[in-house]
Amino acid sequence: MAAIVAGAGFDPARLHARLAEALPAYARPLVLRVVRDLPATETFKIAHARLAADGFDPDRIGDPLYIADPAAGAYAPLDAALYGRLAAGEWRG
């Protein structure tokens, strides 16, 4: 999973294509969380533990979430319905 700060013209399909060119499959994030800004600790470091603790449940997180969809070759929006299928083992991506 990766948390990113994206601008107004963010295109998840374009990002997926660029990452596929630049990184091996094991290094590409499966889940993206688009945040307005990255949370920081009191010493101004990125709060990785806080982001990891949040997980990627769309019911708990208000930020847009995307999941890699190999069939489409792009990132697909991760909504509550898809998350439910994923949690139940019905969608493997």
Number of structural domains found in the chain: 1
Q: Is residue 93 part of a domain?
A: no
Task: Report CA-CA distances (Å) from 48 to 13, 39, 60, 63.
Answer: 25, 8, 17, 16
- Domain residues for the domain of 52 are 2-87
Q: Is residue 92 part of a domain?
A: no
Tens digits of pLDDT across the chain (93 residues): 999 999 888 999 999 999 999 999 999 999 999 999 888 888 988 888 888 888 899 999 999 999 998 888 899 999 999 999 998 888 876
Q: Is residue 25 part of a domain?
A: yes
Separation between Cα atoms, residue 21 and residue 89, nearest integer Å = 29
| Residue 32 · residue 63 · CB < 8 Å | no
